[in-house]
Structure formats: C-alpha cells, structure tokens
Amino acid sequence: MQTNPTHSSLVAVGDSFTEGMSDLLPDGTYRGWADLLAARMAARTPGFRYANLAVRGKLIGQIVDEQVDVAAAMSPDVITLVGGLNDALRPKCDMGRVKGLLTEAVERLAPSCKQLVLMRSPGRQGPVLERFRPRMEELFACVDELAERHGARVVDLYGAPSLGDPRLWDVDRLHLTAEGHRRVAEAVWQTLGYEPEDAEWRTPMPATVPPGWVTRRVADARFAKEHLLPWIGRRLTGRSSGDGRPPKRPELLPYEGPAA
C-alpha cells in the first residue's frame, strides 16, 4: 500500500451513514466521517475538491439510480461507496437483488476513479444486530469479493471492537455519535495509506459502570417513541427519511470545512 499519498479529490456515495448522521453541528447540519476525512485531505493538498452525494434513507437501488453515474462523471481520485445496509435491515429483503445492485455500482464506479473504497459497516451490540447478522455478513462477503475483483480497498468497521460499543451510537441506535464518526474517518484515512493520527481507533473505550435497570427502561421507551415507531411508520407507508432531500454537497468543489 502506498504511504502518505496525495489525493486531489473525493466523492462520497451512500446513505445516512455517509451523510453524517448523527454528528450534529450547532447550525443543525450534519458533519460525519466523510467531511472529517475531506478536511484532513484538504489540509494536505491545496485545491482539494470534495462532493458528498449521500442522502439518508437511501436503498441500494436508489443509490445506483441517483448517485453512481453522477459520481462516476466527476472522475475523482477517490470514491467511497457504502450502501445496502438499509435494504438488509428491512423485514423483507431480496439479498440476491441487493448484491446484484451493489455489483453494478462497483463495476460503474471502479473505472472512473483512481481508488474506490468500500466498507464493512459497523454494527452496534444488541438484539437488532443479532437478528440481521446473517444478512449483514452476506453483504460484507459480497463487498470483499467485489473489492478483490476490482482493486478496491475495504475498511473493516464491522470487525472493530470499538465501534460495537453502544456509547458510540446515538439515541436512535442506528447512527454513530461524533466520536464514532471520528474513528471511522481515521479508519478510512489509514486505509488510503496515510500515516495514522490515532493508531488506537479500534481500541474499545474504557469500561464504565453500566446504567441501571430504570435508566435502561427509560432509554428504551424514548427510543421506541422517538425513533422506532416513526421508522416502522415509514416502512409501512413506503416513505423514507430522505424523500425529497438533496445531497448536502452535490458538486465537486474546493473544500473548506470542519477541522479533523
């Protein structure tokens, strides 16, 4: 792997994970690992350009239809692609179709950039992960196969002990906190060949006394009311949290953003 490379442009493709939820900034916008990564890369390369096409709630078919050709036409140095997990977490999911669409995305993106980056998405500890673990691992096996076939690099977040810690996940239990996104940015940074800024990003956080029974039940009730029931409602009505929402950075432009 090349060390301390120089990349002049980055395009991020995907869903809420790449959009940056739940790394909330004071102005109400989301930052996230891709913005943090872009800031690091921009600090090394004058004129660095960045686009983030990711939109929350997108399924892999929508990513292929709405983002892939746009990203490919930009011909950046680096493209990151994370998708398919929203499909895998739905009660009914055709994993053959999901893997076929992911394959289509990789086949269209890999020739259009110098380096394609794929990911094995992180998984929070808990019963939800256990229920969907076989689908997730089937998806990640496809990611590994596609990476080998097309010369992409894979960031293994699923195998990182630190990112399984519930403390690195927001109250919705679906999206990482700011610290979680910082660790993902570090992981991608190192995968691209840059010298580590945090060699211990995989290391779990120090243990703390777990919350008591009452605190856990209050958190469960809040989660069900504010996040689980609305999520179920969107699934039943065919709606998505990203419906009608444009990408936050639709054009490949010079980047001046948050510090890493």
Three-state secondary-structure class, residue 119: strand
Total-model pTM: 0.86
Say how far apart CA 256 and CA 29 lie, in whole Å: 15
Q: Which helix (H) or strand (E) holds 142?
A: helix 127-150
Say how far apart CA 209 and CA 225 lie, in whole Å: 26
- Tens-place pLDDT, residues 68-114: 999 999 999 999 999 999 999 888 899 999 999 999 999 999 999 99
Q: Give the Cβ contact number of residue 198 at 10 Å.
A: 14
Q: Which helix (H) or strand (E) holds 250?
A: strand 249-254
Name 66's Cβ contacts closer than 8 Å, sequence gap at least 6.
53, 55, 58
Domain locations along the chain: 9-253
Q: Which helix (H) or strand (E) holds 81?
A: strand 78-81
**CATH value of 9-253 in 3.40.190.10, 3.40.50.1110, 3.30.70.240, 3.30.750.24:** 3.40.50.1110
Low-confidence ranges of the chain (pLDDT < 70): 1-3, 125-129, 173, 207-243, 258-260
Bridge partners, 51 (sequence order) = 11
pLDDT at residue number 260: 47
Q: Which of 176, 131, 130 is nearest to 157 (CA)?
A: 176
